[in-house]
Structures are given as C-alpha cells and as structure tokens.
Amino acid sequence: MLIEKDDATLLVVDIQEKLVPAVLDADGMVARCHWLIAAAVDLGLPVVFSEQYPQGLGGTLLQLLEAAPQADVVEKLHFSCVAGQCLPDGLMSRRQVIVCGMETHVCVLQTVMELLQAGKQVFVVADAVSSRGELNREYGLQRMREAGAVLVTREMVLFECLRVSGSALFKQMSKRYLVGDQP
C-alpha cells in the first residue's frame, strides 16, 4: 500500500511549547517535522495540528504553524484525537492519514489505534515522532505497526506522493528537500 497524495492528510500531534523540551532529540524532531509539514504543503496535502490541553501545555510551536498557515488547529483533552472528536471532516473524509508528533506512546499511539479502528490507512512517520524515553518510543512504534499502521520515513512520504521523476514538481521538491543538509 502506497500513500495516495489525493487521499491523504498529514496529522501533526501535540508538538506544543511546554511539551517539546521533555522529549528525546527535541530540536531534531522539530526540524524533521518542519521539513515534513513544509513538504506536505508544497505537495498540496491538507495539514491538521492537534493540541493537548493548550491552556496548560501551550500551543503548537509557531515555526510549525507558520509552515502551514492554512492548517486546521484542533484542541483536545482526550489523548486520542479520535476519542476527542476534534478531527475536521476533511481529514475524516480521506482514506489515509500520515501521522507525526508526540508522544509516540501516548497521544500518537492512541490516535493511530483509533484511526485504524475507524478504517483509516495510517502511516506513522518514524523519524518524526518522539517520546520522553527511547523505550516508550520504540514500543509505541512496535505496537502501532503490529496493529496495522505502516511505518514510513519522511522521504518515503515525499517520494510516494511524487511517484515520478522528471516533472517540474519533482525538480522543485528535490531541490528544496533532497539537496544539501537535511534534518
């Protein structure tokens, strides 16, 4: 199963001001998520940001919001975006959901499990999720994979959405996302 650009949405889970400093490789994770969000916007994928109790944990990092200014931002108290019933109809009407964010073993995991239960094809971007500890990250990814989520990397998302080289879009995207130092 490949990602279908016209039937997928990028869901960015809880990359919030007060949570980010607590996770592993916070700067690297934020940089990789920024890369993914910017690429998704350039590819024409809808982007949705979720926020867990933003009154206490702060909002989504501004640099990520700026990368997708048209994105929906939804708030929740449930760890799962699905249980929180906050996901916009546009996301729920699409068959595929690409997920990045934090924490891998809590909000990402519970959201992914319930998206799978709702019949969605779910792709978890393994190099764009994080937790406070490596064991939690590792077992969160393992559990999602065993439940039927597909683990991918940012470049897999990019190449699957592009599908073909030689086009103007491929040339533009390769210059921006594949050349030089990448996070």
- Condensed to tens digits (0 to 9), the pLDDT of residues 14-70 reads 999 999 999 999 999 999 999 999 999 999 999 999 999 999 999 999 999 999 999
Per-residue 3-state assignment (H helix, E strand, C coil) for 117-183: HCCCEEEEEEEEEECCCHHHHHHHHHHHHHHCCEEECHHHHHHHHHCCCCCHHHHHHHHHHCCCCCC
Q: Give the fold, CATH level 3, of 8-177.
A: Rossmann fold (3.40.50)
Is 33 part of the annotated catalytic residue set?
A: no
pLDDT at 182 over 90: no
One-letter amino acid at 86 equals C
Terminal-residue alpha carbon distance, the chain: 26
From 33, 81, 100, 107, the catalytic residue: 107
Is 107 part of the annotated catalytic residue set?
A: yes
List of E strands, 67-120: 72-76, 96-102
High-pLDDT (> 70) share of the chain, %:
100
From 33, 76, 81, 86, the catalytic residue: 76
Is 181 part of the annotated catalytic residue set?
A: no
Taking the domains of the chain in order of start, what are their residue ranges?
8-177
The H or E element that residue 95 is part of is: none
CB 133 within 8 A of CB 25: no
